Amino acid sequence: MSSWPTNPAHHRWLDQHTRELLAFGRRAADPAGGARWLGVDGLPEPDQPVSTLLSARMAHVYAVGALLGVPGAAPIAEQALGGLAGRLRDERHGGWFPSVADHTVKACYDHAFVLLAAASSAAAGLAGGPALLAAAEAVFLDRFWDDAAGRCVDTWDASFTELDGYRGINGNMHAVEAMLTAAGVTGDDAWLERALRVCRFVAETARAHDWRIPEHYDERWRPLPDFHRDRPDDPFKPYGATVGHGLEWSRLFLHAEAARPAESWLAEAARSLFDRAVSDGWAVDGRPGFVYTTDWDGAPVVRDRMHWVTTEAISAAAALFRRFGTERYATWYRTWWDYAAAYLIDHELGSWFHQLDPENVPTGTVWPGKPDLYHSLQATLTARLPLTPMLAPAVAATLTGPVRT
């Protein structure tokens, strides 16, 4: 039997699971535009406002669903896009608010996902996709890309008047994903060049810290190793080294190298990031699963298991196996799918539990419910697609030929 990442029978299961996830999230679209936070049963949570983050993630996911030929996916994506084109967008100052209930700031993290959603929607030929892509590109370049630094700033006030002094890697990581996707959809290699500059900074900084990635910086890009020590389980900016980000960057480095093979340093950096994350994070407290964060010596800090860390481990292992053909990556890939099937996939109500406690029991202190499908759906696709272009344009090219926008 062939290794799981290349096994046709496993690929058929992946395709089935992709469609099961898309069926679970079908109620996410809000009739007024945007996407809603989903509960454990797939029903919208009434107390959670429509947000830019979830609207963008679900627009991206259902744009991919539309490219996969799933009936009903395109209308869901277009409703999510409607929120990004409408009530989540700041018509006065530009950009996107965090949610319909929060008009206080403009965040790189949110805007990176808008860029990703717009590029994926354009690849899928969805109504409003190209217009949103043009708008997202303009705002991102004007407000968040710092060309002198070669990376992105993090947070503005709502009017784009005052820039916060904090600089962060999480927003830059998702910006790299979005920039590589935009490059694949538009053919504009300037997006690739920007992504490579961010990757180089992350690789150099991680190498200097034994391949643990400092996440938090001041405005001069000096590391803040104690940032959020009092909030270690913050969902977006936790203290210490974030195991899942080492895995996610590992995969992104391989996507970037596939798009620019001359940058061969990316592949070895990807292996080093992967090895460090697995060594620090996998089953280090005597139970299966990845701890969420560690300190700078690799000791676990937050031991809860976030579903997205396992999905990124699966995708990184698939990408490394495709790049190097080394069987140990296939073995890890299978190990983590088996773990997901045992603990994370909800075989009764659908989708994935988003958070488990250290005993692998579902909990919701950081991520209650099952808000969206972004991480889990991508994990079902990485092994089935080439490393370049990125997800949506790769699916588009597989099904319909080269993308044109």
Give residue 2's pLDDT band: very low, low, confident or very high (50, 70, 90): confident
Give the percent of the chain with pLDDT over 90. 97
In this prediction, residue 242 carries a pLDDT of 98
Choosing from 60, 111, 245, 307, the catalytic residue is 245
Work out the average pLDDT over 305-331: 98
Work out the average pLDDT over 119-139: 97
In this prediction, residue 399 carries a pLDDT of 59
Fold (CATH) for 4-400: Glycosyltransferase (1.50.10)
Residue-wise pLDDT tens digits, 259-307: 999 999 999 999 999 999 999 999 999 999 999 999 999 999 999 999 9
Work out the average pLDDT over 99-127: 98
Work out the average pLDDT over 56-74: 98
Work out the average pLDDT over 225-234: 95
In this prediction, residue 86 carries a pLDDT of 98
Over 80: is that where the pLDDT of 381 sits? yes
Work out the average pLDDT over 29-33: 97
In this prediction, residue 400 carries a pLDDT of 55
Q: CA quadruple 292, 297, 298, 301: dihedral positive or negative?
A: negative
Give residue 404's pLDDT band: very low, low, confident or very high (50, 70, 90): very low
Over 70: is that where the pLDDT of 127 sits? yes
Q: Global pTM?
A: 0.97
Mean pLDDT of the chain: 96
C-alpha to C-alpha distance for 141 and 190, rounded to whole angstroms: 11
Over 50: is that where the pLDDT of 192 sits? yes
375 given a catalytic annotation:
yes
Work out the average pLDDT over 37-56: 98
Over 60: is that where the pLDDT of 402 sits? no
Radius of gyration of the chain (CA): 19
In this prediction, residue 405 carries a pLDDT of 46
User: Where do the domains of the chain lie?
Assistant: 4-400
